[in-house]
Amino acid sequence: MLVTCNPQDRETSTYKRFPKLIVEVLSNSTEAFDRGDKFNDYQTLDSLEEYVIVNTKHRRVEIFRRNEQNLWVLQTYTPIDQTFTLQSINLTASFLELYEDAELELM
């Protein structure tokens, strides 16, 4: 899933070039790619402010945020936190809502 606020992304429905937020839901088959090469490619997008990884083995949300120095900083949220915040779109959500109907994958 991605969120874009750039009007240029309305020009086509088949792809978006200026995402502000990208969310990946991990699976066993894609986890290494999502954390590695894919994230490396995403870091080259000047518009991207946050890259979110939703874990399917553990109730955990990892948010990589681009800071003012153009460095990516990781913040991890767990159920103990009860909520997590997507700063790029000014949204706070709860773990209960995110994982409400989810069945975690077995390791």
Report the C-alpha gap between 18 and 57 in whole angstroms. 30
Number of domains in the chain: 1
Q: In whole angstroms, give the CA distance from residue 38 to residue 57.
A: 20
* 106 in a structural domain: no
- Residue 90 belongs to domain spanning: 2-98
**Using 50, 70 and 90 to split pLDDT, how confident is the model at 77?**
very high
Residue 104 in any domain: the answer is: no
CATH code for the domain of 32: 3.90.1570.10
Question: Dihedral sign, CA of 67, 52, 100, 105?
Answer: negative
**Mean pLDDT for the stretch of residues 14-34:** 86
Predicted local confidence at residue 107, as pLDDT = 54
In a domain, 29, yes or no: yes
Residue 17 lies in a domain: yes
The residues near 44 (Cβ < 8 Å, ≥ 6 apart) are none
pTM of the complete model: 0.87
Average pLDDT over residues 15-39: 88
**Does some domain include residue 49?**
yes
Residue among 67, 86, 98 nearest 5 (CA): 86
Residue 90 included in any domain? yes
pLDDT at 47 over 80: yes
Read off the pLDDT band of 99 (50, 70, 90): confident
